Homo-oligomer: A and B are copies of this chain.
Amino acid sequence: MNTHPIEVIAQQSRLAARRLAAAPEAMRNLALAKMADALESVKTQVLKMNALEIIKARDEGQAEAMVKRLTIDDKTFSYMLSRLKKVAQLPDPLDRILTGHTNPNGLRVYKKSVPLGVIGIIYESRPNVTTDAAGVCIKSGNAVILRGGSEALLTNTLLTDAMIAGAVDAGLPEHAIQIIRAPGHEAVGELLKMDDYIDVLIPRGGKSLIKRIAEGTRIPVIKHYDGICHLYIAADANPEQAVAIAVNSKCQSVQVCNALETLLVDSQCAARLLPLLQTAFGLNNIELRGCAETQKLLPGLAPAAEDDWHTEYLAPILSVKIVDGIEEAITHINRYGSGHTDGIATQSLNMARQFEQQVDSASVMINASTRLSGGGDYGLGSVVGISTDKLHVRGPVGPDELTTYKWVAYGDGHLRC
């Protein structure tokens, strides 16, 4: 029986992972520097190849939003390299002693961080995922198998080949970074079966992609579903600040997971604030949909139905609901939210505390834009995704989150009585 090519790749990654786990910090950081250098040296080819794939995508009638995500320009390219360099500067996520003690009988026990092993990244269009993911995986001593979208296959392959050359030059194993070059869905199907070799899969893309992968594999999947983000404006919020936070949360970018989808306004300040909010959102071409109470205060507003509270618009639409106090706001968020990012605008320390404690979300923002949740402001340097799961990792997935740990016990002939 012939081994399937994908199984060969998975086996190679598993072997590389064992060697990577033993690669010292200096070697992994050198590899990241050399990966950036190697990418710099193929910049012209990458931009040329990317331009060809953009033409092809347009020829095939792809949506302009997708073409935009596919595009690498000078600025994107520099940003990709700077992220590799930045991740190199982060503290080593490996070999951290997480806890430890010596038992009265002299048995020394500690728990230390180690790589997960082999990480599979399945993603759509954005070629910067190729370099971001490889960087975070190498930093954390993990082998990575990349599988980007077919529309960017040639660009991603060029990027990966350069990074492999850089990594090998630094002394890392050849298969520390691999990319699946075979086009078509069959390769992904095979990849999902590789639970003997792959420790975790991180799909990046639309909800349907993530669902399909999570349901089609026994490999643990770090999932990113909806970002149904809320801002609750409490009665005592600074009005100017609250409006600015609401507008920034919604308008700074509408197609992203930490953009605002539902605004909750306290009934005690609704009459004062809603007209200001309507004006501000109007200037930004955002369509407001309101609950019945909101409609009373803003006549002519489209209604928000039950479905709206469940919807991640990813579009210039915002649902608005008037709530009676913080309890109702928290109940609404925990019921309709997706546990991604939810914020409050308030001047009350007590309310901030209550919101922080009772809102069951990966990120809780106090008087700050929901758009600030993420690896950058959280100091993670670079991330391979965002988790809406609660187990293992919640929120941004950086190098620390791609580690597990082992317990080590040093005895001198210690036995169990």
Chain A residues with a Cβ under 8 A of chain B: 18, 21-22, 99, 101, 103, 107, 109, 111, 116-117, 199-200, 220, 238, 241, 244-245, 248, 252, 334, 352, 356-358, 360-369, 371-373, 377-379, 389-392, 394-396, 404-416
A102, chain B: closest CB distance, angstroms:
10
A193, chain B: closest CB distance, angstroms:
15
Q: Evaluate contact between A416 and B248: CB separation under 8 angstroms.
A: yes
Chain B residues with CB under 8 A of A379: 99, 101, 103, 109
Chain B residues with CB under 8 A of A413: 238, 241, 244-245, 367-368
Q: Evaluate contact between B358 and A18: CB separation under 8 angstroms.
A: yes
Chain B residues with CB under 8 A of A107: 368, 372, 377
A340 to B116, CA, bound (A): 15
Stoichiometry (number of copies): 2
* CB contact between A372 and one of B394, B396, B414 (< 8 Å): that residue: B414
**Given known contacts A363-B409, A410-B368, A411-B365, A404 and B390 CB-to-CB distance under 8 angstroms:** yes
* CB contact between A360 and one of B18, B252, B373, B408 (< 8 Å): that residue: B18
* CB contact between A407 and one of B200, B252, B334, B364 (< 8 Å): that residue: B364
Q: Evaluate contact between A411 and B109: CB separation under 8 angstroms.
A: no
A200 to B22, CA, bound (A): 33
**Given known contacts A252-B415, A391-B200, A392-B392, A406 and B364 CB-to-CB distance under 8 angstroms:** yes
Q: Evaluate contact between B368 and A22: CB separation under 8 angstroms.
A: no
**Given known contacts A390-B404, A394-B405, A410 and B352 CB-to-CB distance under 8 angstroms:** yes
Q: Evaluate contact between A368 and B404: CB separation under 8 angstroms.
A: no
* Nearest 8 A/B pairs, CB to CB: A368-B411, A371-B416, A241-B413, A392-B392, A248-B415, A368-B414, A391-B392, A390-B404
> Residue of B at shortest CB range from A370?
B416
Q: Evaluate contact between A116 and B363: CB separation under 8 angstroms.
A: no
Chain B residues with CB under 8 A of A22: 357-358
A128, chain B: closest CB distance, angstroms:
18
A202, chain B: closest CB distance, angstroms:
12
Chain B residues with CB under 8 A of A415: 244-245, 248, 252, 368-369, 371-372
Q: Evaluate contact between A365 and B406: CB separation under 8 angstroms.
A: no
* CB contact between A103 and one of B364, B377, B406 (< 8 Å): that residue: B377
Q: Evaluate contact between A391 and B408: CB separation under 8 angstroms.
A: no
> Residue of B at shortest CB range from A352?
B410
Most buried by B among A200, A252, A368: A368
Chain B residues with CB under 8 A of A394: 404-407
Most buried by B among A367, A373, A415, A416: A416
Chain B residues with CB under 8 A of A245: 413, 415
> With contacts A363-B406, A394-B405 known, what are 13 further pairs, Cβ within 8 A?
A111-B378, A220-B390, A220-B391, A241-B413, A245-B413, A360-B406, A362-B406, A368-B410, A368-B414, A372-B416, A373-B407, A395-B406, A396-B407
A360 to B371, CA, bound (A): 39
27 CB < 8 A contacts A-B: A18-B360, A21-B357, A109-B377, A109-B379, A200-B391, A220-B390, A220-B391, A244-B413, A245-B415, A252-B416, A352-B410, A356-B408, A363-B406, A363-B407, A363-B408, A364-B409, A367-B410, A367-B412, A367-B413, A368-B410, A368-B414, A372-B411, A372-B416, A391-B391, A391-B392, A394-B405, A394-B406
